[in-house]
Structure 1
Amino acid sequence: MESLFGDLFDGTDGKTVKFADVILPVPIPKMFTYKIPKSLEDGVGIGFRVMVQFGSKKVLTGIIGKVHQKPPKEYEAKPILDVLDSYAIVNPLQIKFWAWMAEYYCCHIGEVMNAALPSGLKLSSESKIQLNPTYDTQTSPYPLDDREDVILQALATKSELSYEDCEQLLGVKSIHGIIKSLIIKEAIIVFEQVKDKYTPKVESRIRFCQPYVEDRKALESLFGDLSSKPKQEEILLKYLQEVPIYQNSDLNTRGLEKKVFADAGLSMSSLKTLIKNGVLEEYKLIISRFEEIKGNDETVVLSEEQNHAIEQIKGSFLEKQVILLHGITGSGKTEVYIKLIEEALESGSQVLLLLPEIALTTQIVARLQKVFGSKMGVYHSKHSDNERVEVWNGVISGKFSFVVGVRSSIFLPFDSLGLVIVDEEHESSYKQFDPAPRFHARDAAIMLSWLHQAKTLLGSATPSFESYYNARQKKYGYVQLNKRFGDAALPEYLLSDILVDKKKQLLKLDFTRIMREKIQEALNNQEQVLIFQNRRGYAPYISCEDCGWIPECEHCDVSLTYHQYSEEMRCHYCGFKEKVPKVCPACGSGKLAAVGLGTERIEESLSLLFPKARIARMDLDTTRSKYGYQRILEDFGAGNVDILVGTQMITKGLDFDKVTVVGILDADRILYFPDFRAGERAFQQITQVAGRAGRREKKGVVVVQTRKPDHFVFDQVIKADYKNFYVQDMTERQKFFYPPFVKLIKLSSRHKDYKIAEKAARHLHNLLHEVQVKKIMLGPEKGLIGKIKNQYIFESLVKLDKSGNAQAIFKQELRKILESMYANKEFRSVRIIVDVDPY
């Protein structure tokens, strides 16, 4: 970090500052120096958001990373166009965190900034056109066609038009060709209208003008004057009913929402008349998009084991910065978190609680809001841009001292973090795959804590092997919770052999006999069922029974997933979709059949097997809307759904009293995925989804459908023997050099031309092979999915020695090699992706 960003915070202060180094949201490995105009000198500093020109046409939002007096040597500094805020929206610790992330994950600080800032804090620019003042129709050598003439006539009456205006004017879908022609003919000028995207929520309110508040007789006289105008009188009476100003005149200051009168069916024209006559006044008030919630100050009752765990955690924090809380499913980790959060907030520190999925936030947020009320903020991608900006600003202002969020919440502007909790720390959802920075939120959170000199608590029933390894090596503290809260029993496991049932003809619509019986038993007892299948859609693919044809994506090397509800086949990588053919395009046969199981097909099968059951599905397709997760979970929690079918989003964090049966339909698919973590992930997913069953007094049942019931992973899951499973798997990892014994870096070369992609990958691989550090290099090989979005992919995998400075040296050399690759004309168009800790 020192080499790239070591002098980030040096610089002078005061009125002599003339230059600012600005971080821009572009993939370039440096900051750009801009001149600070005299008029702006008093209003800028580190962390201020500024508007700058980049290149000849672009206007970008930047963040000042350094202030100084040194002009750049390579170019003439352009002036900062404007300062966008009256205070710094980013603090120096954040910039230091961005710099670490850029260094560690081999990307650019501008890419980190782009990921960190909510969209509402970035400027948007809209292309507009205006008439060229030097253009003359009579003297121009270029003739205009009819459509161009229409646009110029419109510009004669309007000073400017947006691209959208032009499209509506001509009734065309794309205007770009016409605009380009008019630019060539020098008839128009294109310019960018730049605007700040964030808009505060404004509420119109009504209140009495001051004379009527101060003088009661004036009000009585007013009512006498309005005796013949009952509609106006009704409005005043409504106001006084809602705002009793003569009991407390201060209430008039805030007044009453304007919509209250409309909702009551009162005359809006009469309200306007009262405002016009100076009786009432209308004013605007900026309000929060989040409703005020009062915490109920309820004391969380803890078990003896939970209290003991808290004391252990606090004791370990005296020596260790990071602690792993290994608590079995249903052991009450959330209550432990609440107690620790309360104590951290009481000490004046800020707290961040990370969750892996938005689905988790619905239940846990409702629980936490009962305790912490409105001092708790929630930050995730289902919130609008404006809502995320409000949380951002709320952290700066101190309104939110505690935030619950998904991985992006590590970028919030904390200035005094005391505690970071990473719940379900093993979850793969914490890893950002695209675009850069390709960070892991758990690891980044640990660094964030270190920068703030805060503490980190990692919680999981099935810890990642890396975290458990660090705990066994005494790098992390380690605390266990071995009992379910309230002495709820761990679920009973039943392994159901698919092949045996198939031979005996007991398999019905992909459900084994045991699975059907246990679901029916739960329904008879008015209990609930969770069915887990980690594949959305109706079926993985369609196949021709005669010739074996399988439809594939035109742009990616994957089969298309069949979605019955919309009668189409979709690619889950690029979004390509097409209608299901009536006959096989290869041989003309009409025998097209769906192969495999998706959540949509399971939902249909269940409705046929249990026609009276109320069934819902929770996957990416059913939860696209803002409150999609919430609605489904509320229905399930209220008992309006008997069977919930879902992907991995149902495997964690959900806590429902009436769930007694959990079904896992295709456990083999998790076990045999081509990944060195396949066994670890299978153990985690099966244990986690099983943990949703029987969380109260009744013991739950978990039915696992498999073709390999004798697989050792099932044996370890049933015994809940995490330690023995860990020891077995780690022996293999050490033998074949996989994490946590080495550091992995994956390098992908992508190009639309197969040969160029392959050549670039081999050239890169050979250059990296020469780097003098202890390492193992694999590849380059065609990617597991060899083509995505018309780009061919070749991959190399580097296994780096973890000791010494091998990582730092390798990353330094990698930067130089990538610069040389991009300077090479042959490889300039190749996209090279560096992914640190890729799996």
Structure 2
Amino acid sequence: MQTDAFGPELPLERTTRFAELLLPVPIPKLFTYRVPHILQDSVQQGQRAIVQFGDRKIITGVIINIHETPPKDYEAKYILEVLDHQPVVTPVQLKFFQWIADYYACTTGEVLNAALPAGLKLSSESRVQLHPAFNLDESDQPFSEKELIVLKRLSHEALTYTEISKLLGVKHLYSILKSLAGKEAIILFEEIKDKFKPKTEKRIRLQPEYAIASALEKLFETLASKPKQEAVLLRYLQEVPVLSDSARNRNGIAKKDLIDEEISESSLATLIKNKILEEFEIVVSRFAELEAGEAPPIHLSADQQHALNATLQAFSTHQNNLLHGVTGSGKTAIYINLIKQALEGGSQVLYLLPEIALTTQIVHRLKKVFGAAMGIYHSRFSDNERVEVWNGVLSGKFKFIVGVRSSIFLPFDNLGLIIIDEEHDASYKQQEPAPRYHARDAAMMMAHFQHAKVLLGSATPSVETFYHAQEGRYGYVRLDKRFGEAQLPAMVLADMGIERKSKTIKGEFSGLLLRNIDEALKKSEQVIIFQNRRGYSPVVNCEDCGWVPKCVNCAVSLTYHQFRHALVCHYCGYKESLPEKCPTCTSPRLKTVGYGTEKIEEELSLHFPEANVQRMDLDTTRSKTGYESIIDQFEKGETNILVGTQMVTKGLDFDHVSLVGIFNVDRMIHFPDFRSYERAFQLVTQVSGRAGRREKPGTVILQTSDTEHPLLKLIIEHNYTDFYRIELADRKQHEYPPFSRLIEVTLKHTDKKICKAAAVQLTDTLKNSLGGIRVMGPGEPMISKIRNQFLMSILVKIPRGKTDLQQTKNSILSKIGFLVKEKEYRSVRVIVDVDPV
């Protein structure tokens, strides 16, 4: 017999089992742990397990497989605890995680870290307590003043590192804690924190023995002299008819619904103490239960019905299909019909949206149709809310999910349909940290694993998606008329050059735009103003010496935010107060240059004092309900003019918007990126689509200094076909997607010389090893320093269909591995971004 630390004595012949775990760490391997005998018959692939990683850290991993082979290179530690009775990660998810890691050149640990909601990742937190054998009065050790402060507080409670740091007002504690540990005054331990806690509700019910007429009658006789207690009981019986419905009494009533100004909580407590009423807790959902059926019936137009039939036909021949419908054509109604059919067939559905702002409006509409079967998943939800959705998908409670890009990681096991709305949107691409996946492309691969159909929807498809549709790789359905009587808006150019000469410009507003805003407001119509710069002013400078405030961490100028009265870096968050005088020449003549959304909002309020102006950008929507309140007020007509960044371009549907004004379209067109024309076409078309979505015709005014630019002509004509043809020819000539795949390699270091030398060496190595593949660079990106790190970038162009893509990626990663092993480049950080946008 042998004794096991995790159980009673066990027979010697019992086989020892080992589990390989995927841990949420950026290390490209699985880790083997010993399975305690008590768990050997219950461990399964996909369960979470708590393990010790390194000397002190305790983290949560996912069991990938179980076997009887011990690791060769190290002594396996025991699994500390298995957290689940059933798997929370499915086999198809694990296959999907591996594909993302391979395709986007990262580790499966990084994918797991991104996939699991924080509430499912138990972690440890280092805490400090007094050593049980330590007595300060008896100690002959010398202690500093700070050490004595810590010891005094520890005599009452254990503390975390953070709490001690705040107590002493210092950031670096290691020397103090090391000294105290050396004097055997303290010990450090790890405390596991389970981040997910189910939401509970306290309820009240009548004890069963009183739920019969005779007992209830006697009870009221007893309480006749106690009017406050009698009032509590009467209120309960008004809400719960115990004599006619005993099941209602078992469920009781929420305690918060029973107590009000007239009902005494102390009287309730007395009834509970006397065992007349009973208080109990139940686990409740964090999401309001919704009943379907409140929505008005959806009547499709002839064009919509034709598009729906064509989409169903396309699904019979293609897994991936593009619905190319102009803005306001009624794509959402088609989506709802398809979702209904998939759910009725017993399948799960995922509806992806690029922005949280979009979910606010669409979710209200979908809730009325699908009720409690629908779950919502995005980053503004709390950890606990996201865990509830994850568990709801696992349990089958949520058959239909509406969410942003991270929704692709949910544990679906029977997906039948994925809808990717606004498929062209760059928000689907994850930037930091790894995995730098594109949710559109990853969702199509997940659909492949689950044998699901994919519908890509857009009024302005990405060039790559439209190319695949034209080449026959995707099915294609066109919807080129707006729903009902609505017409596409009239596009008008405001020539800023002419207006400057004639002095009709006020600030950055053309006279044409101001006149049209005034006319719209007089007709009680609404206006949207689009400017893709937040803040008050992009630049502040000194009129005498030209000084411009720069970020201390990044190679960018600071943006002035008036509501904070601060200069802010939009890359690292650094901020400082706006100086009263120029720090270079002491001149007080500091002026703001350019217009951000905040300044536009202010000036509109001055031009139109009777109008209610609101702003929708990152600064005004930081709270969980920020988007919802702004959109709700605009929908109700409480807001007359909405000023916003890209958030206002994405699929919002308002009845009374007759005018859209677009600032600085030239900056979008001339942005130094091969996708600048495509992005400008998409942004302008999308924001223009917010105007005139009902019977009233809409107008869009584009302020430009280059009215003859050929792209503006295509935008005004709503001519996507010619735009695509011209853009595709340009992409082919310069070997850009869809004719190639791009991999961007970015090097970062605090020393510019080291960063540049590493980039030059890596570029030379890649050029020599990748043969005919074009390696461009190295060069400084437009923003060459972020968060005190200098940047250099290398662009690799891989011809589509002529090269083994995975082999090329493996070769790039191998060469990076050799580079960072060299002594002088060990501290260089190298980032690989596959399919950058």
- Give TM class, smaller chain: over 0.9
Aligned match of 1:270: 267
Which residue, out of 681, 685, 696, partners 2:694?
696
- Find the counterpart in structure 2 of residue 774 from structure 1: 772
Structure 1 counterpart SS, 2:781: strand
Amino acid at match of 2:311: I
Q: Which runs of 5+ in 1 are unaligned?
A: 1-14
Q: How does 1:146-545 map to 2 (within 5 A)?
A: 146-156=145-155, 158=157, 160-163=158-161, 166=164, 178-213=176-211, 215-296=212-293, 298-545=296-543
Pairwise CA RMSD = 1.6
Residues 706-762 of structure 1: CA deviation (Å, up to 9, x unaligned): 011111111111111111111111111111111110000000110111111112112
**Letter aligned with residue 792 of structure 1:** F
Measure, in 2, the Cα distance between the counterparts of 1:494 and 1:153. 73
> Using the alignment, how far apart are the partners of 1:655 and 1:536 within structure 2?
23
Whole-angstrom distance in 1 between the partners of 2:169 and 2:100:
47
SS in 1 for 2:780: strand
Q: Could you say what secondary structure the match of 1:470 adopts?
A: helix
Q: 1:594 aligns with which of 592, 595, 605?
A: 592
Query: Which range is displaced more, 144-153 or 483-492?
Result: 144-153
Percent pairwise identity: 53
Higher mean C-alpha displacement, 38-47 vs 681-690: 38-47
Distance 2:492 2:814 in 1: 56
Q: One-letter code of the match for 2:39?
A: L
Aligned to 1:95: 94
Which residue of structure 2 aligns with residue 58 of structure 1? 57
Cα distance, 1:202 vs structure 2 = 0.6
Distance across 2 between alignment mates of 1:621 and 1:423: 25
Q: State the AA in 1 paired with 2:65.
A: K
Q: Could you list the per-position Cα deviations for residues 323-380 of structure 1 after superposition, in whole angstroms to 9, with x for gaps in the alignment?
A: 0100000000000000000000000000000000100011100011111111110101
Question: Which AA in structure 1 matches 2:106?
Answer: C
Letter in structure 1 aligned against 2:85: S
> Deviation of residue 427 (structure 1)?
0.3
Give yes or no for contact 2:529–2:644 (8 Å, CA) kept in 1. yes
Q: 1: CA distance between counterparts of 2:758 and 2:165?
A: 42
Deviations 1:94-150 (A, max 9, x none): 111000000000000000001111111111322211223465668867411233234
Contact preservation (8 Å) 1:488, 1:697: yes
Given candidates 552, 570, 573, the residue that maps to 1:575 is: 573
Whether the aligned pair in 2 keeps the contact of 1:774 and 1:806 (CA below 8 Å) is: no
TM-score (norm 1): 0.96
Tell me by how many angstroms 1:172 deviates.
Answer: 6.8
Contact 2:286 2:385 in 1 (8 A): yes
- Equivalent-residue separation in structure 2 for 1:634 and 1:520 (angstroms): 23
* SS of structure 2 residue aligned to 1:552: coil
CA distance in 2, matches of 1:607, 1:285: 50
User: Is the Cα–Cα contact under 8 Å of residues 98 and 113 in structure 1 kept in the other structure?
Assistant: yes
Unaligned 5+ residue runs, structure 2?
1-13
Find out whether 1:143 has 2:142 as its counterpart.
yes
**Cα drift, residue 803 of structure 1:** 1.2
Q: Is the 8 A contact 2:351 2:418 kept in 1?
A: yes
Determine the structure 1 residue equivalent to 2:811: 813
Letter of the structure 2 residue corresponding to residue 357 of structure 1? E
Partner deviation per Cα, 1:168-207 (whole Å, 9 max, x = no partner) = 7667777555334313433211111012101111100010
How far is 1:164 from its partner? 5.2
Residues 154 and 535 of structure 1: CA distance in aligned 2, closer, same or farther (over 3 Å): closer
CA positional deviation for 1:155:
3.8
SS at match of 1:792: strand
Could you tell me whether the CA contact under 8 Å between 2:16 and 2:37 is conserved in 1?
no
Report the Cα distance in structure 1 between the residues aligned to 2:152 and 2:360, rounded to whole angstroms.
Answer: 54
Instruction: Letter of the 1:575 partner, please give it.
Output: G
Paired residue secondary structure (1:450): helix
CA deviation digits over 1:410-462, x for unaligned, max 9? Answer: 00110000000000000011111100000111000100100101010000000
Q: How does 1:577-726 map to 2 (within 5 A)?
A: 577-726=575-724
Find the residue that maps to 1:250 and give its secondary structure.
helix
Is 2:559 the counterpart of 1:566? no
Counterparts of 1:587 and 1:532 in 2: how far apart (Å)? 36
* Contact 1:773 1:806 survives alignment (8 Å): no
1:29 aligns with 2:7: no
Residue pair 1:17, 1:67 contacting (<8 A) in 2 also: no
Counterpart residue number, 2:7: none
Query: Which deviates further from its counterpart, 408-417 or 807-816?
Result: 807-816
- Taking the aligned partners of 2:464 and 2:76, their CA distance within structure 1 comes to 47
Letter in 2 for 1:505: K
Name the amino acid aligned to 2:50: M
1:9 maps to what in 2? Answer: none
Counterpart amino acid of 1:83? V
Give, in whole Å, the separation in 2 of the partners of 1:807 and 1:127: 44
How many residues of Structure 1 are paired with residues of Structure 2 in the alignment? 823
**Hey, what's the Cα distance between the residues in 2 that align with 1:98 and 1:629?**
31
CA offset at residue 241 of structure 1?
0.3
CA distance in 2, matches of 1:166, 1:439: 39
Q: Could you tell me how far apart the structure 2 residues matched to 1:175 and 1:264 are?
A: 51
Write out per-residue CA displacement over residues 58-103 of structure 1, whole angstroms, 9 at most, x where no aligned residue.
Answer: 1011011222222111211111110111111110101110000000
SS in 2 for 1:43: coil
* CA drift at 1:806: 2.6
Q: Does structure 1 retain, via aligned residues, the 8 Å contact 2:561–2:568?
A: yes
Instruction: Measure, in 2, the Cα distance between the counterparts of 1:167 and 1:266.
Output: 46
| Structure 1 residues 154 and 363, CA gap change in structure 2 (3 angstroms) | closer
Judge conservation of contact 2:775–2:794 (CA < 8 Å) in 1: yes
Give the superposition deviation at 1:804. 4.2
* One-letter identity of the residue aligned with 1:709: T
Name the SS of the counterpart of 2:127 in structure 1. strand
Structure 2: distance between partners of 1:149 and 1:599: 53
Deviations 1:778-805 (A, max 9, x none): 1111222111000011110000122144
Distance 1:513 1:560 in 2: 30
Contact 2:204 2:279 in 1 (8 A): yes
Classify the secondary structure of the residue corresponding to 2:557.
Answer: coil
Question: Normalising by structure 2, what TM-score?
Answer: 0.96
- Which residue number in structure 2 is paired with residue 748 of structure 1? 746
